[in-house]
Structure 1
Amino acid sequence: MFSLLRRLRRDERGQALVIGTVAMLVLAVTVMASVSIGHGVYEKIKLQDAADAQAYSLAVKEARAYNFLAYTNRAMIVHYSAMLTFMSYVSHALYLDMTIGKIAKYAKYIPVVSAIFTAVEQVIKAWKKAVEWVARLLIPILSALNVGLWLAQEAMMLGTMKDLLLNSSEGVIRGTDPKARPGSVMSAGPGLGAIMGKYNVNFSNLKNFLHVIDDGPASKDKTFDLTDPTGLGKRSKLLSKDDNKLSKPDMAKYRLLMGNLVNGARREWTAVGKEIPLIGRKWSLNLCVLLVELRVAKVADSQVKSFDEGFEDNRRDQLFASDDIKIQWRSPCPYLFGGREDGWNNILSINFRVAADNQGGFHQTYGRRKTDDHHNWWGLTPFLTSDTSFVDPWHNHFSYPCNLTILSKNMIPKSAGDEVQPFHLEGMRQKGFMAGSSSGKHDDKKEKVTGGFLDITWRLAGGVQDKKAQKFREETGGMMAMAVGRAIYHRPGDWKEEPNFFNPLWTARLAPAKTHWEESALGDLIDGWHTAESEFADALNY
């Protein structure tokens, strides 16, 4: 008996089985942990891809909206320039009719040249009628087109607003990650979340898209008027005779800006004319008789003018064109004194002017008398433009619109029927593995490793059982992804430039996640956000 016991005590067979069992247990835990962690990483990548895709998609919509504004604003300028050019033709035709036409009217009775001057007179009168008829026809048409372009701008803004305000459960997000849902942190606003659902609105993105627009909300505003978020009501007053006053800054900025842009886009012939003797809009003739020099100078001008409410019964804006003649003299002739340019004295001024405005327009010949009211023009129509931020522009991104996408995914099964992660180590949390007690509760004073340390069920995602971690799990379901998209005005070589709604160079990009307008929201969601932010700033300063 005793010998048998001694043999069993000294027998080493079976030790590999014990070691193998322990090793297999460790290997099994490692494999399950690796698979579960890999699955979590995969789900996070999908969620982050969905957030990136949504943020970039929204930035693309914003950039396309601003490019549309730029194209339509440029089209309006082209239309105004065309109206101004035709009024220049009318002014020039009036000049030809009242000068060369008058000469031809009497010269046609000279026998030798009768046929020539008769033909000249008829051609000038036919040209005058033709350009006046075209101007009367095209000015109302082009004005109506500009109103249509403005309405198209407003429709584009409202459509983009809808896409930014509503977090659709389909489309880009669902197409990239069917389990993803928009986060609730962006749903703050004047009752929007309560009306439309906690996860269905994106008030902050809407505000930061609109604050770039003149008459839109300021980026610092906590809320804004949802009855007129884009400033449509303010801009529409440009079409009103009573409200459209140059003394009102909201009206003056649109009228003066567009007027200056149109005047800057004029061609030489429209603006000042080209030098063609006698029949051109700009020319001069000099004649020196003895010691007296005579000069007949022809000058031209065409421009959009804006007047205040007190000007001629509020004519407001005018498409103005003029062809004026000045007859001057000076003595002695310039060749005696090296070609000087001073000393001219006026003998006679003859003005040929036309205008189109909301009082029917006018023709003016010779003196100040205005006749032939038949060029009606509504004036400058509304359009959308940008409000650049010059307050700390680098920090405020020159008012570039940012959109923030925060997505979450439910990784915590709430009941037996919910989908769970593979190879959950549920028992390690329930039995308090490696804990000081079997209660499963954490006590910092007694223990540093809790039963949930190896819990891969996402029930402790975000940290231990404190209020912020619990709020994080309730809001996100255990997993969150964030992305920022930005529409920028891009000029090749250097994109850091103030917004411009007259050049179609807006483009989209993913931007750094930290933005000046979402720091508070991120601080509420991410524990330690402000601490990490200050540490990063200190590191940069160091």
Structure 2
Amino acid sequence: MTRTMKHLIENKKGQAFPLAAIGVFIMALSVIATMNLGQAIHEKIKLQGAADAASYSLASMEARAFNFVAMLNRTMVVNYNTAMAVQSYYNYAGFCLFLLGSVRDLLACMVSSLDFGCTYIKLPPWLNAAYCILKAIFTAVNQIVSAILRVVDYLVNKLPVLGLHSISAGVADALGLMNKYMLWQMQLIRLALVNAHILSGMHQVVSDNYIHPQTGESKWRFELTPWMFLNMALNTLEYRAAFDRGAGVNASAFDLLLLGWRDYGDFGKRQTDASKDAVRIMSEIANATRSHAAIYNRKRGLFASWIVSNIFGDKMGATKLIPTGSDSKPNPDVRKIRSADNYELGDVLASDDYLTRGWGIATVGISVVFAQSSTIKGIAHAITAYGEDSSDNNRKHYGYKNNNGDPAHPKGGYSGLIVIPPMKKSAKKSIQKEVDCSLMEKHKWIGISPYFKFMPIADHNSDYGQPSTWIFLNMPPEKFQTGTGVAGRPWHKKFTFNHGGGDKFSQDNLGTGQAGEHGGHSADLDTTIGGERNSMSLFGMHLEGLNVISRGMVYYHRQGNWGEPPNFFNPFWRAKLAPVGAKLAQWLDNLTRGIVKPGSADESTSQTVVRVVLNLFRNFLGDVFFGFITSVMTH
């Protein structure tokens, strides 16, 4: 027995076996850990790709919707320009009617002067005969001209349906209705559809991009998890912040369901400052994009003639969207819209044409009628049309008044005439009555319709108001560890070592058996990724498994002009992926605004310390924290 024990002690064979067993065991664990880590990295890359695809797709959808809105806003501006052009042409036709009527009036005055020379002045017989012959000729001409004016007046102002007034009024009204009931509602529908993707959490895009490599089936299933609600909430808030509620309604689902129609009513009544600003902005763009020479500043020399009767002067005029003014009726003297101190903006459609520095002359040699500026400057025509909330009395045409307060042509007096020989009697005017407004009440104008306006923010820390898109995804370990068995792939094992009991060794494939349930001591070795052993949660959202974050951004860029602020009038919206760390740093900058200021010569030591510490923390957010929450949480 002693010899046997001594032999066993002296025999060194097999001493390396325990070390080899331990080494093989450690190597096996290393291989398992490597395979687990490799699979986790592979799955995380695929999940991050799906999140990036979802955030970029949502940003692209919003960018396309914004470009669609911009194109329709430009179409609205074109319609406003067209309405102003149509009204300016009609207004100019009315001015020409008054102008030619004034030329005819000078001709009538000359006929009266010829009649005085033919009847009341004792002249040589041949000269009296000349007066009488000319009187007869130009009396006939005057009657022809008067008949032509009556026909033109009927075609311009009184002919129903096919008259110039009916056509221009109908076109302007139709363009206003088109903006309100077609273009704006098309914008609303297009933007409202984006909410469907926001509220779905971009599930379909994630599902299409996170597929099994062998089967081709999606590994993502739609579930109402806290992460899904977080995606909905953040993207809804970002989307909502992009719109100015003062221009009508906000296109986010929250506003469309709760607050939208109140904003719509405020815009229609022009009650809030935001609504007034929105009207002024659209009015300014509509006014500024017209033809300068043809509509906005119709300034040129003028000459009008009926054979021997002529008027000269400087033709002035403009068509513009102006403020509402009085509630009873607008001031007929809309020439003030051209003055520098009255450049206000509104949605009253106003147009005027008038003559300045004018004078007129009608002569056949032996008779002269000279019209001074005091008479000629009354030749003018204007139209003002209020919005749809105004009464029909505000949708009329107006003539100007001279300095004495008397009606201007066609019913004005001739106090500024010099006639040689004098008139036998006052000549009849071309049109005896003032402009008949009864037919012109149909000249309706709906005003500036609701539209979608971007809400810019003059702050680079807020990305100038340009919205971001966020996608947070979490994949629990039991879903990405696909393979055979309950635990997933064969190397995903949870080992339980028992000693001192009945079972010396057992393995439980992610089982829930109690360690050491057969007595003695036990030790667990879990080679799976994730699990309850190191479970983390954030506001009730569990973080075990794989976690990824992706941020997209809808940004505005006009090529060659980075300084142009974001807006919904030019279709230059684009989408991109954006860094998350930069956004975290922006949030920190917003929180510390007013606390941290750039270094200056009189900066105190404490201010310097605070600034340095916060800058270090800011860099930590960008360089460390983002990597932590996307990598370390994959545990």
* Alignment-derived partner of residue 84 in structure 1: 84
Among 161, 179, 193, the alignment partner of 2:219 is 179
Q: TM-score under structure 2 normalisation?
A: 0.60
Secondary structure in structure 2 of the residue aligned to 1:307 = coil
Contact 2:103 / 2:304 at 8 angstroms: preserved in 1? no
* Alignment-derived partner of residue 529 in structure 2: 458
1:323 aligned to 2:391? no
Which letter maps to 1:475?
Answer: H
* Alignment-derived partner of residue 273 in structure 2: 249
* Alignment-derived partner of residue 167 in structure 1: 201
Query: Residues 213-362 of structure 1: matches in 2 within 5 Å?
Result: 213-215=243-245, 227-229=257-259, 231-239=260-268, 244-245=269-270, 248-268=272-292, 269-273=294-298, 275=300, 277-278=302-303, 296-307=313-324, 310=327, 312=329, 317-327=347-357, 348-357=377-386, 358=388, 359-360=391-392, 361-362=395-396
Secondary structure in structure 2 of the residue aligned to 1:144 = helix
Change (3 A) 1:498 1:185: farther
Deviations 1:363-416 (A, max 9, x none): 2234366633331112111111122223xx111111111121101112147999
1:405 aligned to 2:468? no
Deviation for aligned residue 1:455: 3.4
* Alignment-derived partner of residue 96 in structure 1: 96
In our comparison, the structure showing a higher alpha carbon Rg is 2
Secondary structure in structure 1 of the residue aligned to 2:580 = coil
Deviation for aligned residue 1:517: 11
What 5-or-longer segments of structure 2 have no aligned partner?
109-135, 211-217, 247-252, 333-345, 360-371, 402-406, 408-433, 500-504, 506-513, 517-521, 589-612, 624-635
Contact 2:54 / 2:202 at 8 angstroms: preserved in 1? no
Please give the alpha-carbon distance, in whole angstroms, between the structure 2 residues aligned to 1:258 and 1:99. Answer: 34
Deviations 1:199-237 (A, max 9, x none): xx7122111101121128xxxxxx9767335x3431344
Please give the alpha-carbon distance, in whole angstroms, between the structure 1 residues aligned to 2:69 and 2:173. Answer: 22
Which letter maps to 1:456?
Answer: T
The two structures, once aligned, show a CA RMSD in angstroms of: 4.8
* Alignment-derived partner of residue 133 in structure 2: none
Please give the alpha-carbon distance, in whole angstroms, between the structure 1 residues aligned to 2:498 and 2:173. Answer: 80
Contact 1:411 / 1:420 at 8 angstroms: preserved in 2? no
What 5-or-longer segments of structure 1 have no aligned partner?
189-200, 217-222, 281-286, 288-293, 330-343, 434-438, 442-449, 521-530
Among 437, 442, 448, the alignment partner of 1:374 is 442
Please give the alpha-carbon distance, in whole angstroms, between the structure 2 residues aligned to 1:131 and 1:279. Answer: 21
Deviation for aligned residue 1:79: 0.4
1:136 aligned to 2:161? no
Change (3 A) 1:172 1:406: same
* Alignment-derived partner of residue 48 in structure 2: 48
* Alignment-derived partner of residue 212 in structure 1: 242
How many matched pairs? 458
Deviation for aligned residue 1:479: 1.1
Change (3 A) 1:539 1:476: closer
* Alignment-derived partner of residue 427 in structure 1: 495
* Alignment-derived partner of residue 394 in structure 1: 460
Please give the alpha-carbon distance, in whole angstroms, between the structure 1 residues aligned to 2:541 and 2:486. Answer: 16
Deviation for aligned residue 1:252: 1.3
* Alignment-derived partner of residue 124 in structure 2: none
Contact 2:283 / 2:321 at 8 angstroms: preserved in 1? yes
Among 181, 186, 192, the alignment partner of 1:158 is 192
* Alignment-derived partner of residue 363 in structure 1: 397
* Alignment-derived partner of residue 480 in structure 1: 547
Change (3 A) 1:456 1:21: closer
Which letter maps to 2:219?
Answer: K
Contact 2:227 / 2:474 at 8 angstroms: preserved in 1? no
Contact 2:242 / 2:466 at 8 angstroms: preserved in 1? yes
Which letter maps to 1:455?
Answer: D
Please give the alpha-carbon distance, in whole angstroms, between the structure 2 residues aligned to 1:517 and 1:237. Answer: 37
Contact 1:327 / 1:346 at 8 angstroms: preserved in 2? no
Among 543, 550, 572, the alignment partner of 1:505 is 572
Q: TM-score under structure 1 normalisation?
A: 0.70
Secondary structure in structure 2 of the residue aligned to 1:503 = coil
Please give the alpha-carbon distance, in whole angstroms, between the structure 1 residues aligned to 2:331 and 2:65. Answer: 35
Which letter maps to 2:449?
Answer: T
Secondary structure in structure 2 of the residue aligned to 1:457 = coil
More divergent stretch after superposition (475-484 vs 17-26): 17-26
Deviation for aligned residue 1:271: 0.6
Change (3 A) 1:518 1:421: farther
Change (3 A) 1:172 1:533: farther
Please give the alpha-carbon distance, in whole angstroms, between the structure 1 residues aligned to 2:472 and 2:614. Answer: 19
Deviation for aligned residue 1:535: 3.6
Change (3 A) 1:255 1:297: same
Secondary structure in structure 1 of the residue aligned to 2:38 = helix
Change (3 A) 1:296 1:274: closer
Change (3 A) 1:407 1:518: farther
Please give the alpha-carbon distance, in whole angstroms, between the structure 1 residues aligned to 2:325 and 2:227. Answer: 48
Secondary structure in structure 1 of the residue aligned to 2:314 = strand
